[in-house]
Amino acid sequence: MTDTPLPGPDMRDLMAAVGEVLLCWGYVEAAIRKRLSVISPADMKASKTPVLLRWRKVEPPTPELAELLKEIDRLAIVRNCLAHGLASASANPWEPEEPEVACRLGEMDKTVTLSELRETARSLHRVSHAIRSPI
């Protein structure tokens, strides 16, 4: 009897991970809007300025906030590539290569693997909870 290798992640797994990152980014923005409504209700009126920039301006600076914003900036790179520059995806469950998406954002080309997408989603969950907690 020959051991047939089990298939690895496929295109559905990859696309689910892309969707999860985008949805989790929405959770982060919702947490920011909620926090902004508490610390600066005037900043809740309709605006073309992204909510993250408005929050940066009104949240009192602390070392903890600086670390949190640094993490958000790192995660935003992946989110922005997916939301504004998704160019292709590759996944073959029978090959050893990890599924990945390729993005082109301006002059930047970026490849994001399935494991990076999953880590990004987990980090975005943590960040959204951190924003809801006292900083």
pLDDT band at 118 (very low <50, low <70, confident <90, very high): very high
Percent over 70 (pLDDT), the chain:
95
pLDDT at 2 over 70: no
**pTM beyond 0.85, yes or no:** yes
Nearest residue to 58 via CA among 37, 31, 30, 76: 37
pLDDT by residue (tens digit) across 89-114?
A: 999 998 999 999 999 988 889 999 99
Instruction: Please state, in angstroms and as integers, the Cα–Cα distance from residue 113 to each residue in 24, 51, 55, 93, following that order.
Output: 17, 28, 30, 14
pLDDT by residue (tens digit) across 61-70?
A: 999 999 999 9
